[in-house]
Structure 1
Amino acid sequence: MAFGRRRGILALVPSATFLFILLYLWNINHTPLSASRHPSGGGAQQQQPIKDWQPRPEFSFWSQLPKHYPPTSMRPLPQGRPVRFPRVQATNFPAEASGTRRRQLRERREAVKRTMARCWGSYRKYAWLADEVAPVSGAQRNHFGGWAATLVDALDTLWIMGMKSEFKEAVDAAEMGINFTTTDIRDVNIFETNIRYLGGFLSAFDLSGDVRLLRKAAEVGEMLYKAFDTPNHMPITRWDWQSAARGHKQEAPASVLLAEIGSLSMEFTRLSLLTGEPKWFDAVQRIADAMAAQQDDTSLPGLWPLAVNARDAIFNEGTLFPLGAMADSAYEYLPKMAALLGGQLPMYKTMYEKAMNAALKYNLFRPMNPTGEDILVAGQVRADGRGKFNLDPEGQHLVCFLGGLMALGGKLFERPIDMDAAVGLVNGCIWAYKSFPHGIMAETFYSIPCNKSSPDARAVEEAPCKWDENVWKREVLRKAGRDTDKDAEALAAAADTVIANNRLPKGFTSLPDRRYILRPEAIESVFVLYRVTGAEELLDVAWDMFTSIEKATATELANSEVRDVTSPEKPKPADSMESFWLGETLKYFYLIFSEPDLISLDDFVFNTEAHPFRRLVAA
């Protein structure tokens, strides 16, 4: 289906009025907050609400709609003093001591910036104010509401890379060209809108102090808040916004994905901290309270099932427990909420520790690999409800985020076992990258757990297992649905055929999804582990990743998702470039080659779309 420029099928602001508004707004003098009111560097103390944040009346439709189920109570923002967490970032970065290395890092981040400039230039030329530019054809795509997802997602990247004129042009366009009262899509994905748009505007405001960005964030926040107008105040994650706009009553669905309901807390809380309006914090804290109350009562205590019941606020029924796709950021936000709020709500530390204790015991495993590397992969677990847990050893590019998360949690909460796991997980993703012919890992893969026979993995405490070619080949045949009841010679021959036909690297038993979709999770965790440890070798790992990705995905216009990273030739492009390429992947590549005090992890915490928010830190 072809997508054109953003057009509203239910224009809540009449077109003539909206055009007048645009002309009026063009003539307003926009003055960013001064550095004294909103400093651009260093840590923050207890947040003082920003004045003059209210959206302009022309864009206040959602806040003016009547509420069918107004809350009978409102939880206030925490008013205590931030606790003093341990330092997250290393105190010593050996790479910073070498003049030669510093020059090399400057060249590397300039290379990343050139890729950003090429992609941004194509977006500006071919798809301005659309969600995405197609990197091969130059077509416009609107998958996320038609609210300029690439523009908003990339705002803080532009600022961080020093592309200030591009940043200003984008802010000007966002203020007057993005209208959150109209969209071509019927169902708004609340999770994606939250992490990309609300997160993007909040982060860009935190960095620049331009109050226009906080106003746009509030516009998004008011729209998203309407999705919580249900009998139990649980949100509708795939939201029929047209029905809500017409004043119809709503009810949260009986089945929602864990990540989509459990990953709203950082953005809503930051918006409340900046505005002083507690309703957003109150809305997401209700979700966190329900999750915390039921965390010990699931089929795998400590973890929540993949799908939960929002209609009845039931978070403990279900048998599948992944850490990756569709569950990931619900876990990611636990230590990050602790950091964001300066530790004022101890429940987030408790929830994180329970979750990671369970993950360490059941989800993490050591994959058998030909070089015997001491690495970890996170799989998903199926519980039978009677105390038996079966590990499904599927690895995902997306679950590579976990290494960075456990490094952050390990430092914040002084858990050495998490730091050990973080190193193993990051090395596991590095191993996967290096194993494929283009130096890029596949979207999903299967391997053989060294502790396959044990339901109690306790992966970080077990010694690595030795490589066994016959075991690998037998599992390759089994995953391919072939007969494994053969003598050794026939089995090896049959397996060699499957391995050749499917282009399986050694150690991988199947590749359900061979794409690379410009994902950030591997470089995200490499970046975090570098900032936490100062390990210089990670800089070269990151550079190898960047050059491999650039070589495989670069087009004349930008960079494209590719269909098959096992292809002997340059992988075929899919003509797709999601906004997270500019909002996340390139940002993390740029930051790892930058000075460690640029977006320090002791001052900022990243949302799941790589938007840095200022932490509350002890004075």
Structure 2
Amino acid sequence: MIRSLHRRHALALLGGSTLAGLTGLPAMAQSEDWSALGADVKAQFKWAWDQYVDKAWGKDEINPVSGTAQSFFIEGQDLGLSLVEALDTLWIMELDEEFQAGVDWVKANLDFDIDGYSQVFETNIRLVGGLLSAHLASGDPLLLAKAKDLADRLMKAFDASPHGLPYRYVNLKTGAVRDPETNLAEIGTYATEFGLLGQLTGDDRYYAAAKRAMKHALDMRSDLGLMAANIHAETGQFTSRNASIDVYADSFYEYLWDAWELFGDQDMKRWAEECLAAMVAHQGKRYDGRLWFPMVDYETGAVTGTSQTVLGGYLAGLLGQVGLKAEGDDFLATYTEMQATYGIIPESTDVTTRLPRTKRTGLRPEFADACLNLWLGDRDERYRALTAIHWRNMKESSKAAYGFTALSDITTRPMAQGDNCPGYWWSEQMKYYYLMFAEPKRVDLNRLVLSTEANVLRGFR
């Protein structure tokens, strides 16, 4: 059960209509022992890692209630997803023996010459990104070689489209593609990994392909400056009218700004600023005083759906990064209220009623992600305090016999557990918590750039 103490602290942090309107800090933010909290995060991560090693070593994902495992990319063909996702987190936490064991497994066992279809977007952000960050941490050239080998296979999905828009799936062995009906996130979340790979290998084909796909969609923005979320790789045309900040679109917008920060690409910076300004102007809607960004018609701005997913939380941090800090705080306050009300932010919420549209949730990291990005901007302790609530509520509700699990019902007390630890848990929220609480010595927070999967792409000391 989520203790009422957590709810009171969240409500105290919430304050008025926006975080920016608060004065002073609650007792929690003033008295918290951040170092001790960071040590707790590390201890829990190490415990969960030991369970993974014991029950699911080399498998894609562990099922922490039953102690079983499941594949993620290709049924029956594991690619060590959780292991690869965990590598740079292990490195940051100075779990060096565990990190080396993971690297050794990758070098001995990870082979992408598989006759099976893998989702291009997920494969890039999880495996290419994970291998690149592990390479940056260790300097091991074989990790870079494996990242390049995998990216070369993914490039077939770009090459097959007349517009350079990657198909959703590619056969890793044959290069055959399928599923041209795709979306902004799946055609536009490559620039950081591909750009870094290009820098490390001296081959600019990767970044050029990633930027071309993004530019194709950006060139079709409406007079409002919005894009529809769904697009066809073969026709190059939008296949819906819905502009979205979360499902089907979220990381597209993150990668505009990240590409500017990593590579100094002025086009990307301009596009990021234009797109977020258009979102604020035409998608931001108030319901009972709270700011939401529901789906709207990309040409008219009329609301087309009243759901907002937990994935949208990232936008609060991104708004702060691009200089729209007040709007970022305003949107964060909406998710803060959801956290205060339900303990765990619902997977999807009806913006008109603030009631959950789904009872399950998948160990989501986006709220902590937003808090980290806002905290890096001004080191305001309120963001740390909100993240501490997120951490404690996750720990209390999701800890199972063999790790941390997604939930099947957040409305029961205690919350009902599912039986799966998504691969991103190892890379994302556990890293966000540790970076904020422990301020680890192996990372320069002033130079830090993370991928959408929280792989460290710049900032290792």
1:267-294 alpha-carbon deviations (Å, 9 max, x no partner): 1111001110122122212213323322
Is residue 339 of structure 1 aligned with residue 261 of structure 2? yes
1:121-153 alpha-carbon deviations (Å, 9 max, x no partner): 111111111101110111111112411100001
Is residue 150 of structure 1 aligned with residue 65 of structure 2? no
Aligned residue number for residue 529 of structure 1: 374
Equivalent of 1:419, from 310, 322, 325? 325
The answer (yes or no) to whether the contact 1:445–1:511 under 8 Å persists in 2 is yes
Equivalent of 1:181, from 113, 123, 139? 113
Is residue 512 of structure 1 aligned with residue 425 of structure 2? no
Is residue 558 of structure 1 aligned with residue 403 of structure 2? yes
Rounded Cα–Cα distance in structure 1 between residues aligned with 2:185 and 2:156:
19
3-state SS of the aligned residue for 2:114? coil
3-state SS of the aligned residue for 1:576? coil
Equivalent of 1:609, from 445, 450, 453? 453
Equivalent of 1:443, from 343, 347, 360? 347
Equivalent of 2:122, from 176, 186, 192? 192
The answer (yes or no) to whether the contact 1:191–1:237 under 8 Å persists in 2 is no
Aligned residue number for residue 293 of structure 2: 378
Aligned residue number for residue 264 of structure 1: 190
Aligned residue number for residue 217 of structure 2: 291
Change in CA separation of 1:334 and 1:615 when aligned onto 2, cut-off 3 Å: farther
1:569-598 alpha-carbon deviations (Å, 9 max, x no partner): 211211011011111011101111022876
Q: Displacement, 1:240?
A: 4.3
Rounded Cα–Cα distance in structure 2 between residues aligned with 1:542 and 1:281:
34
**Letter of the structure 2 residue corresponding to residue 354 of structure 1:** E
Aligned residue number for residue 4 of structure 2: none
Aligned residue number for residue 229 of structure 2: 306
Equivalent of 1:326, from 244, 248, 264? 248
1:465-507 alpha-carbon deviations (Å, 9 max, x no partner): xxxxxxxxxxxxxxxxxxxxxxxxxxxxxxxxxxxxxxxxxx5
Normalising by structure 1, we get a TM-score of 0.66
3-state SS of the aligned residue for 1:133? strand
3-state SS of the aligned residue for 1:197? helix
Q: Displacement, 1:388?
A: 5.5
Is residue 273 of structure 1 aligned with residue 199 of structure 2? yes
Change in CA separation of 1:391 and 1:528 when aligned onto 2, cut-off 3 Å: same
Superposed CA RMSD: 2.4
Rounded Cα–Cα distance in structure 2 between residues aligned with 1:241 and 1:570:
43
1:350-372 alpha-carbon deviations (Å, 9 max, x no partner): 21122112110122233326xxx
Unaligned runs of 5+ in 2: 1-23
The answer (yes or no) to whether the contact 2:114–2:171 under 8 Å persists in 1 is no
The answer (yes or no) to whether the contact 2:51–2:403 under 8 Å persists in 1 is yes
Change in CA separation of 1:598 and 1:393 when aligned onto 2, cut-off 3 Å: farther
Aligned residue number for residue 10 of structure 2: none
Equivalent of 2:131, from 201, 207, 215? 201
Quick check: which has more Rg, 1 or 2?
A: 1
1:45-104 alpha-carbon deviations (Å, 9 max, x no partner): xxxxxxxxxxxxxxxxxxxxxxxxxxxxxxxxxxxxxxxxxxxxxxxxx99xxxx968x1
Equivalent of 1:128, from 46, 57, 62? 57
Rounded Cα–Cα distance in structure 2 between residues aligned with 1:240 and 1:226:
7
3-state SS of the aligned residue for 2:449? strand
Total equivalences in the alignment: 430
3-state SS of the aligned residue for 2:153? helix
Rounded Cα–Cα distance in structure 1 between residues aligned with 2:180 and 2:400:
43
Equivalent of 1:227, from 136, 157, 172? 157
Change in CA separation of 1:615 and 1:555 when aligned onto 2, cut-off 3 Å: closer
Aligned residue number for residue 40 of structure 2: 111
Rounded Cα–Cα distance in structure 2 between residues aligned with 1:597 and 1:275:
28
The answer (yes or no) to whether the contact 1:255–1:307 under 8 Å persists in 2 is yes
Aligned residue number for residue 334 of structure 2: 428
Normalising by structure 2, we get a TM-score of 0.87
More helix by proportion, 1 or 2?
2
3-state SS of the aligned residue for 1:613? strand
Aligned residue number for residue 363 of structure 1: 283
Q: Displacement, 1:346?
A: 1.6
The answer (yes or no) to whether the contact 1:253–1:309 under 8 Å persists in 2 is no
Q: Give the share of equivalent positions with the same residue, in percent.
A: 28
Rounded Cα–Cα distance in structure 1 between residues aligned with 2:240 and 2:169:
23
Aligned residue number for residue 430 of structure 2: 586
**Letter of the structure 2 residue corresponding to residue 379 of structure 1:** P
Is residue 543 of structure 1 aligned with residue 388 of structure 2? yes
Aligned residue number for residue 22 of structure 1: none
**Letter of the structure 2 residue corresponding to residue 268 of structure 1:** F
The answer (yes or no) to whether the contact 2:161–2:233 under 8 Å persists in 1 is no
Change in CA separation of 1:253 and 1:552 when aligned onto 2, cut-off 3 Å: closer
Rounded Cα–Cα distance in structure 2 between residues aligned with 1:164 and 1:141:
26
3-state SS of the aligned residue for 2:319? helix
Aligned residue number for residue 39 of structure 1: none
